[in-house]
Structure 1
Amino acid sequence: GGQGQPPANKLPLEIRPKGPGKYESRVILRSAFDVRVLDVECTITSLGTRAELIFTCSARQSITQEIPIINHSEQPWSIHADLQGQHFTGSKDLVVPQCTEAGPGKASYNLTFSPHWMCQVEGDLILRNATIGDTYQYKLQGVGEEPIAEDHVVIDCKARWRTKHMLNVRNVLKGKDIVYRVECDMQGVSGAEELRVDADGEGEYELSVMMPRGGNFTGSISFIAPSQEYIWFTFEVNAENPPAEKTVQLRAKARTAVAADITIVNPLDTVVTFDVIMQGEGLLGAPSVALQPQESAVYELIYSPLMAGRSIGGLIFVNDDIGEFWYELELESEEPDPIVVGNIKAELGKTSRTRLTIENPLGFDIEGELLVDNATNFSVSVPDNPYEDAVLLVPAYETAEFDLHYAPSSMGEPEKCECCFSHPQAGTWVFECVGRGHPPSEMEVTKVSATVMSSSHNLVRFRNPLNTEITVRLSLELEEVAEEDGAFQLMVPPDEEVVLSGFQEIEVPVLFTPKRMLEHSARLVIVDIGSDIKWVFPITGTAEASLCVYLGKFTCKARELLKHTFLLELSGVEGSEGMRGDDRTELEVIPPPEAREVLSTSLVVQVDDGPPKPPSGTCRVKMVFEPLKTLRTKVELKVSKASGGRWAFDFDLVALAADIDDTIRIEGAINKTSSVAFRMKNQFDVEAEFRAYFLPDSPDELSVSPAVGVLAPYSSEDLTEFKVSFHPKTYGKAFVGRLVVETEEMQWIYEVIGEHPRYQGPQDVATKVDTRLAPGKDPAEYRGSKPAKDYHRENTKAIKLAQATRK
């Protein structure tokens, strides 16, 4: 204030408006000597709105954008609009109601963009709030795109018949007459080249439609003004096919072919090419045919159905200039002739096999079951079918084979069977099979064995192959050695007659008791008394040594070579040598099932025929063992003489772990994983499944991945990558384990060493704390620097005193 006046006081007021508008309040000031009242009125204005609006619309169409305005004040707002811009329209004034208990007042300003033609324009819209003085500014952009079709017209007609249709076309130029230029993009639709339409009126345009062929066609017609503005229509023509030129009947049996010759003519003076459309199953022919001017030609149509049945088809010739003409086809397919499989022969008691073939004419695999209607004499099987059923799979456009088995049940009489294979799309194959039974020759050899001076009981099975009852007599015919030793004995009463019903099976007991290490032979003869049909069953008996001789245990490391020669004593062979001309020795190695695959490539056992000749009654055998992985197994060896006799031996094979292939070192910090990788492939030129693991005595901190997979062949450039990881959890000595990678035939062993990083102490670094006495300083000076009070002793006394007080 001035001189002699007290300074003016300032009262700060804080206003927190919820929106633009007028806010009124009253401030009361009280003191011990005075009361003052101040009425305060605040007008809050908006910061204003600036935005951009983009409109995109087809020509001669409209699009509207609503701009919302919200009033939070207690009095209505009066909005005035200032709009500039071509093709933009909107109201000039707008009133927004005041805020009520129901909520703020709301209103919308409707801005419309209506382009007359394709364009890109700009404009401005300013909305001024006359009540509170706010301003809302909008930058406008408008894009007028190509006009949409006026209408979609559907026209139904018949091909090669003329149809007329009227279009109503409006004038797009306001207040002016107009002459449109007419353009159409569909063949077969024609009309006047120009159309005149009066100002602000409509004109009628006549369309003439004559489609050259049947079908569904779409197109458009445009009416273009001199200013290049246009309106356009889309239309769809559904044209029925014209009447058929002729009806052609085609008849064939399934999976056979017939041909029909159809004459076509070119009436024009230019070369004409017809596109050919075939409607119907089993029709084959050229996709197009070209004719010279005024030329006629013969089109060959082939009908080769797969399925039996009747249907109606069509053969259509189409040309853009001539149009379409077609022939109706009456298609009839009969069941195919059965495939005759005659002259099947088989001996009574035996089964013959006939290989048959089915060809797939389709472009996808077909599958079906093979069925026979005479299961007594015939059956089917599919080669290489693991499921042993009669389901046949025929690949696309390929052939597949199956076997027909015939077991006769009569002599000389024809026995028939139909074998069928069906597929719903490929059709049915029927094989008519005829078989005849013939007198039997010798049946399959029955092999028996027994140890010397011991007996074995054996059964020879015989099934009556006839469908009638027969009475048979059984007898045993022995060869010379067997007769001398009495090696075979028929365990039924001599000359006993046995009655067998049709297809009945019996088991004939035969006792074999060899006395020498020789081969013994006999024949079981079964004679049908009524027809003198005779079945002969050869029996071969092998004498075996009574004991299995153990040859020992043979040990080597994996991937090392072990050779050994045995001199095997063949007991009981002395005295029988030379009784039969053939004295060949045959070996049979019998490994256990779990080691059969490994030993098939690592063990070779063969007779050593080289000089010097082994002593009489012995056999020299050479063994070569070269294992590729650890192994422990027992192998049985059977030695047989062609003259008769079989001896059994066995031995143990042990393959120890091979030397370490390589050493892998990994450094890893505590509780962190470190890894190294290496690659490898199979040692043989085939893929091999592998298993990778650490031996049980290896530490858990070592791991490998992948644990299983496939090793690439030796000739492949692709290698399988293995990752060995080390994750230590404690400090200590190095972690050492053995990693094994093995396949069915090979094994690799790696020594893996996991180590902690070596610690290197700091070099030439000064200490941060001085812990040494200075050489030239009196130690008494350090004693004087001790604290005057011993806090530890004082605290100890306080604790003891407190404990004594509580007691």
Structure 2
Amino acid sequence: GFISIPLKFCPLGPGHYPCKILLTSNYDVRVYYIEGVVNEDQPEATFEFETPALEPLTQNIPLTNETKKEWKCQVKIEGKWFSGPSIFHVRPNETVQYPLTFKPISECEIMGKLTLKNEVDGMEHIFNIKGIGKKPLAFGTIIMNCKVGDIANKSILVPNYSMTIVTFEVSSDLPIIAGNLQITIEPNNSGSYVINACPLKRGILKGIKSIYKIIYQDQELFHNPLLILSIVFVVVSLGFVLFCISDEELRNLRIWYYLEIHTSPGPPQNIIEVECISLETNCIEVPISNPKDEIIHIDVIFTNPALSGFQELTLNPLESVNYIAWYSPATTGYKEERYGLGVALYSILLL
């Protein structure tokens, strides 16, 4: 038969407690080897991760095996956006780094726990983990080259990191930017979105294209223009294309690109030929009209110091005026100069 031997185990702290029990009689000697394994009642350490959304950050967590047996550890990770190998091996008398990665897809703060359980003796190593997702970095810079008055387009990829179909609704604070009002993207996929630009002013323009409403499974879950406006006012000087997604799990996802529109002058509206005697002044009249029902303000740019006139012009609704420019050449010869009126009009002077 069998009998039970009571054994009392009172560990003073976590760790391994090997023990040998010797049983003797007049007819038999038996030896039993036992080992007590005591786990920590508190996590061994806390690791904090801080990274921009969509940017992975990996920390190596050391684990030391001071025994004579190889450890095979089962890994359990609690906490969204944390990942790492599910099996971990540590040879005797070695220290191995466990690679734990945090890759948030939105701005967030996540608390979690990492548990490494040794299959050999059942001992657990527990670590607290904290992940902080910051504002994401730009996916890249979108540069569009076009001429004043012409329509240019650029195709960009917009990813959907969720596991359901998502429809983005698009808006922009730049009047020269246009495109489809919505874009629908399949789960865990990317969709192509075409940006159209029709600039009325030469130079380098920077602005924002934002997507501020999400339709999720045919139901509108998010519509907060004030939130997007706050983003616009904070970073409008940078210029970017912004795509936002918002549901209960991905409510702060932002995917954005820097946007620059490089605009060169288009063909002139008119060619005016002027003849003038050197050191004398000629008057040049250019008819300008305002077809809109609102007041417009026009800036005037000259390319030669011999040309002069008012640098600003204000036209009332439906008003027509003759803009007067003065030409005072200091030398003789034939020259071709330009002057610009407003955002889209300029003329060539043959002097």
Aligned length: 279
The letter for the 2-side match of 1:291 is L
Match of 1:210 among 172, 189, 198: 198
Unaligned runs of 5+ in 1: 1-19, 23-42, 100-104, 332-807
Q: Map 1:306-385 to 2 at 5 A.
A: 313-318=337-342, 323-329=343-349
Q: In the alignment, what sits opposite 2:184?
A: 196
- CA spacing shift, 1:64–1:212, aligned 2, 3 Å: same
In structure 2, the CA distance between the partners of 1:220 and 1:150, relative to structure 1 (3 Å rule), is: farther
Q: CA deviation at 1:89?
A: 1.9
Q: Please report how far the alpha carbon of residue 79 of structure 1 lies from its aligned counterpart in structure 2 after TM superposition.
A: 4.0
- Sort the Cα spacing of 1:172 and 1:189 in 2 relative to 1 into closer, same or farther, 3 A: same
- Give per-residue Cα distances to partners, 1:507-537, cap 9 Å, x unaligned: xxxxxxxxxxxxxxxxxxxxxxxxxxxxxxx
Question: Displacement of 1:46 after TM fit?
Answer: 12
In 2, are the aligned partners of 1:261 and 1:298 still within 8 Å (CA)? no
1:178 and 2:166 correspond: yes
Superposed CA deviations along residues 362-400 of structure 1, whole A, max 9, x for unmatched, are xxxxxxxxxxxxxxxxxxxxxxxxxxxxxxxxxxxxxxx
Q: What pairs with 1:711-726 in structure 2 (closer than 5 Å)?
A: none
Cα drift, residue 55 of structure 1: 1.9
Which residue matches 1:160?
149
Counterparts in 2 of 1:90-129, with a 5 A limit? 90-98=84-92, 105-127=94-116
Q: CA deviation at 1:192?
A: 2.4
Corresponding position: 1:265 with 2:253: no
Question: What is the deviation of 1:112?
Answer: 1.5
Query: 1:54-95, CA deviations, whole angstroms, 9 ceiling, x for partnerless residues?
Result: 222333443222223455766544444343222222223322
Displacement after TM superposition at 1:160 (Å) = 0.8
Alpha-carbon shift at residue 258 of structure 1 (Å): 3.1
SS at match of 1:180: strand
Distance 2:44 2:273 in 1: 79
RMSD of the TM alignment (CA)?
4.0
Instruction: Please list the CA deviations of residues 626-670 of structure 1 after superposition, one character each: whole Å capped at 9, or x if unmatched.
Output: xxxxxxxxxxxxxxxxxxxxxxxxxxxxxxxxxxxxxxxxxxxxx
Residue 274 and residue 81 in structure 1: after superposition, are their counterparts in 2 closer, same or farther (change >3 A)?
same
Cα pair distance change 1:204/1:133, threshold 3 Å: closer
CA contact 2:299–2:313 (8 Å) conserved in 1: yes
* 2:230 matched residue in structure 1: none
Deviation at 1:289, TM superposition (A): 0.4
Post-superposition Cα deviations, 1:216-260, rounded to whole Å, max 9, x if no partner, equal 22333333423444344443222221112225558676xx67354
- CA distance 1:200–1:52, change in 2 (3 Å): closer
* Maintained 8 Å contact 1:248/1:327: no
Q: Who is 1:296 aligned against?
A: 320
Conserved 8 A contact 1:82-1:125: yes
CA distance in 2, matches of 1:196, 1:145: 26
* Cα distance, 1:74–1:281 mapped onto 2, change above 3 Å: farther
1:240 and 2:260 correspond:
no
- 1:59 correspondence with 2:53: yes
CA distance in 2, matches of 1:87, 1:163: 39
Query: CA 1:213–1:248 in structure 2 vs 1: closer, same or farther (change >3 Å)?
Result: farther
Q: 2:83 is aligned with what amino acid?
A: T
For the residues of structure 2 that align with 1:140 and 1:285, how far apart are their CA atoms? 68
Residue identity opposite 2:347 in structure 1: Y
Deviation (angstroms), 1:165:
3.8
Alignment correspondent of 2:225: none
Q: Deviations along 1:386-422, whole A, 9 cap, x unmatched?
A: xxxxxxxxxxxxxxxxxxxxxxxxxxxxxxxxxxxxx
Structure 1 residue 133, shift from structure 2 partner: 8.6
Tell me the TM-score normalized by structure 1: 0.30
Q: Which amino acid aligns with 2:177?
A: V
Q: 1:310 to 1:126 in 2, by over 3 A?
A: farther
C-alpha deviation, 1:150, in angstroms: 4.4
What pairs up with 1:635-650 in 2 under 5 angstroms? none
Structure with more contact order per residue of length (Cα contacts < 8 Å, sep ≥ 6): 2
Structure 1 position 87 matched with structure 2 position 81 = yes
Q: Which residue of 2 aligns with 1:187?
A: 175
Tell me which amino acid in the other structure corresponds to 2:102: F
Alpha carbons 1:21, 1:73 under 8 Å: kept: no
Change beyond 3 A, Cα 1:221–1:307: same
How far did residue 113 of structure 1 move? Answer: 1.6
Q: CA deviation at 1:280?
A: 3.3
Deviations 1:595-642, CA, capped at 9 Å, x for gaps? xxxxxxxxxxxxxxxxxxxxxxxxxxxxxxxxxxxxxxxxxxxxxxxx
Distance 2:71 2:329 in 1: 85
Indicate the residue corresponding to 2:235 in structure 1: none
What is the one-letter code of the residue matched to 2:91? P
Kindly indicate whether the alpha-carbon contact (under 8 Å) linking 1:250 and 1:260 is maintained by their aligned counterparts in 2: no
One-letter code aligned to 1:180: F
- Quick one: structure 1 residues 200 and 258, their matched pair in 2 at CA, closer, same or farther if it must change by over 3 Å? same
CA–CA distance in 1 between the matches of 2:67 and 2:280? 93
Distance, in Å, in 2 between the alignment partners of 1:236 and 1:252 is: 44
Q: For 2:155 and 2:65, how far apart are their aligned partners in 1?
A: 56
Partner Cα separation in structure 2 for residue 139 and residue 69 of structure 1? 15
Pairwise CA distance, 1:180:
1.5
Query: Identity across aligned pairs (percent)?
Result: 23
The C-alpha deviation readout for 1:413-446, integer Å capped at 9, x for no partner, is xxxxxxxxxxxxxxxxxxxxxxxxxxxxxxxxxx
Alignment CA distance shift 1:180-1:46 (3 Å): closer
Q: Which amino acid aligns with 1:63?
A: L
1:669-684 aligned at under 5 Å gives the runs none
Aligned partners of 2:276, 2:97: CA distance in 1, in Å? 78
SS of 1:293's partner is coil
Alignment of 1:768-787 (within 5 A): none
Alignment map for 1:251-650 (pairs within 5 Å): 258-263=281-286, 264-281=288-305, 283-303=307-327, 313-318=337-342, 323-329=343-349
> Matches of 1:258 and 1:134 in 2, distance apart?
97
The one-letter code matched in structure 1 to 2:178 is S
The 2-side partners of 1:310 and 1:77 are apart by 90
SS at match of 2:344: strand
Offset from partner CA, 1:103-162 (integer Å, 9 cap, x none)? xx4422111223233322111224456779986543222122344444533322221122
Q: Is the 8 A contact 2:276 2:282 kept in 1?
A: no
Distance 1:154 1:250, change over 3 A: farther
The corresponding residue for 1:647 is none
Partners of 2:43 and 2:128 within 8 A in 1: no
For 2:53, the aligned partner's letter is A
Partners of 2:347 and 2:318 lie apart in 1 by 21
Letter in 1 for 2:179: G
Which of these two proteins has the greater Rg computed from alpha carbons? 1
Q: Report the Cα distance in structure 2 between the residues aligned to 1:193 and 1:156, rounded to whole angstroms.
A: 23
Deviation at 1:211, TM superposition (A): 1.2
Q: Distance in 2 between matches of 1:78 and 1:199?
A: 36
Is 1:213–1:242's contact at 8 Å kept on the other side of the alignment? no
Cα distance 1:293–1:326, how it changes in 2: closer, same or farther (>3 A)? Answer: same
Gaps of 5+ in 2: 1-14, 18-35, 216-220, 223-243, 246-254
Report the CA distance shift for 1:80/1:269 in structure 2 as closer, same or farther (over 3 A). closer
How far off is 1:188 after superposition? 1.1
